[in-house]
Structure 1
């Protein structure tokens, strides 16, 4: 199970919206000042990530929690997100060149764009299907601390 810390910012039905700070491995790497990821992080900065997670423990707004995602679900989603657009480009370009007639280069470019568009269309349906499967959704594993609420009547 991949775990990440976050804070509950809203309750949405039986799920909660969580915000978490993006972390990278740049601090652990010996070439952190020379790589593209480090450069992009310095240019654009780090922005918090928001996600919806199942809430079996009844976390409330303000709670700091640990969110988990199965490794299998993460790997399948990452593989689909990275491989499908590349496969769409390659297959579309190959088909365009093969059946391009007198202008195989132009047909190859158009085929690649069509393949990419089809891959993104497929990914959209795939992500909707995954969102409906509870075992593929992030889930709150435990509460780290609870929110502190003080009312005026509690003060001396």
Structure 2
């Protein structure tokens, strides 16, 4: 399970909550952040926030920090489909188009290139349709795992 911290911004009476999470740059925790070009670019842009509406059965209040969970298996499966299916379509149709050119069934190689691009588009369309299914969307929906305990700050210690 992949975990992310978020802050509750609203709670409705039907167990619906709205949470906000900051999108963190990968270039913020490295020791070379001050001397690296990517780190400087990451510092230049403001942090972005992502708001989600979720169903939660835990007793949360506005201002609470919660831990959201996302299935790692579902995320990796989706990433594989979105990246690889268009690539496979492109390669397969390009190979087929080149074979048609070598057999002189297509008059010019530009038609083989167009056929390859069409295969990539078909792979993209297939991946998109598969991700629009409700089963795929439910597997990728984040869930509230737990409420983080409130942090206590000590400002003064007396004897």
Same fold (TM over 0.5): yes
Gaps of 5+ in 1: 147-156
Which sits farther off after the overlay, 85-94 or 66-75? 85-94
Aligned to 1:150: none
Aligned to 1:140: 144
Which of 109, 132, 146 is the matching residue for 1:128? 132
- Aligned residues: CA RMSD: 3.1
Q: Secondary structure at the match of 1:57?
A: coil
Residue 56 to residue 43, structure 1, CA distance change in 2 (3 Å): same
User: What is the distance in 1 between the residues matched to 2:41 and 2:90?
Assistant: 25
1:118-153 alpha-carbon deviations (Å, 9 max, x no partner): 12212222222211x3x442101112369xxxxxxx
**TM-score with structure 2 setting the length:** 0.67
Instruction: Report the Cα offset of residue 48 of structure 1.
Output: 1.8
Which of 80, 104, 107 is the matching residue for 1:102? 107
Q: Secondary structure at the match of 1:56?
A: coil
Do 1:5 and 1:65's aligned partners in 2 also have CA atoms closer than 8 Å? yes
**TM-score with structure 1 setting the length:** 0.68
Instruction: Report the Cα offset of residue 61 of structure 1.
Output: 5.1
Do 2:27 and 2:42's aligned partners in 1 also have CA atoms closer than 8 Å? no
Residue 119 to residue 8, structure 1, CA distance change in 2 (3 Å): farther
Gaps of 5+ in 2: 151-159
Which protein has the larger Cα radius of gyration, Structure 1 or Structure 2? Answer: 2
